[in-house]
Amino acid sequence: MFEQLGLIGCGLMGGSFALALKKAGLVKRVVGYSKSPSTTERARQMGVIDVEAPSALLAVSGADLVLLAVPVAATEATFKAIRHLVTPNTLVMDVGSTKREVIDSARRVLRDQVGVFVPAHPITGKELAGVEHADAELYRGRQVILTPIERTLTAQLEKANQVWTALGCHVRQMSPEAHDAAYAAVSHLPHLIAFALMNSIKGQADGDTFLSLAGPGFRDFTRIAASDPSIWRDILISNREELIAQSRHFQRALHALETAIAAGNPDALEALIDGASSARSHWRMTAIKSQA
């Protein structure tokens, strides 16, 4: 049981975390701060937070648990705003989709206190942002990746494991570098492709007509293109080296398909499709098994 959660960023991810903690009986009080006062007020009206803080620093005052639910690009400024009230007993976490840049910010700003920070990435979300869409069940059954560094305190890491596990999450640990490489492939690149596809179609003279004819497959494939632009701008730039590397892998795979089609080579094309189909089927089976 935590005495106080200092919530910095009362949107979808932060608001859902606060609601989940409350539902599980893991926190006595939630003090929240958002850059937009109207967001913080709305969070209080909804019961997501108990007290509105006028600053990030005052949200952290007296907190034994702090969650940074801000865009990755705002992480360093947030650390600077709160560092004077972070104590050796505080557990500080984030929910950012990239880790190396966040950790570099923590090292620069928190310095000797960097051990209280446990970087976290919950693998969940919605296309609809904002506290209005906060959901106490958002994290249940989802993976949460923790990326501790060599200076992360064992006690804080154990607390982080306990918190996420208590919320019904499957907790895994990996290095920040491995995390960013993996999620460039399975999260950031798919978003990049979805954004590019929508822009490609909309940029054509008959784009609106094409879109009017699209069915469920197109809807499912492009769902993530409706994600929050400012959040994904920051994520893609933050992980740009790994993302560009994955984009080049994708371009080579796409070129192989184009070559088989242009040559009218059905055997080569079927082999490429079969390889993709088999990999996708295998992934579904292992994913279900790992979460059983």
One digit per residue, the tens of pLDDT, for the chain of length 292 reads 899 999 999 999 999 999 999 999 999 999 999 999 999 999 999 999 999 999 999 999 999 999 999 999 999 999 999 999 999 999 999 999 999 999 999 999 999 999 999 999 999 987 778 999 999 999 999 999 999 999 999 999 999 999 999 999 999 999 999 999 999 999 999 999 999 999 999 999 999 999 999 999 999 999 999 988 988 999 999 999 999 999 999 999 999 999 999 999 999 999 999 999 999 998 864 343 333 2
> Quick one: pLDDT at residue 290?
38
For 71, half-sphere exposure in the C-beta direction (CA atoms, 13 angstrom radius) is: 16
Which residues fall within 8 angstroms of residue 24, CB to CB, at 6 or more apart? 166, 167
Contact between 59 and 6 (Cβ < 8 Å) = yes
Distances in Å between the alpha carbon of 227 and those of 98, 106, 233, 235, 286?
16, 27, 10, 12, 27
**Total-model pTM:** 0.89
Distances in Å between the alpha carbon of 83 and those of 43, 146, 217, 236, 287?
24, 21, 47, 27, 39
Kind plus residue range of the DSSP H or E element containing 124: none
| Token pair 């596809």 in the structure block, residue | 197
Torsion angle (degrees, nearest 10) of CA 287, 224, 21, 88: 90
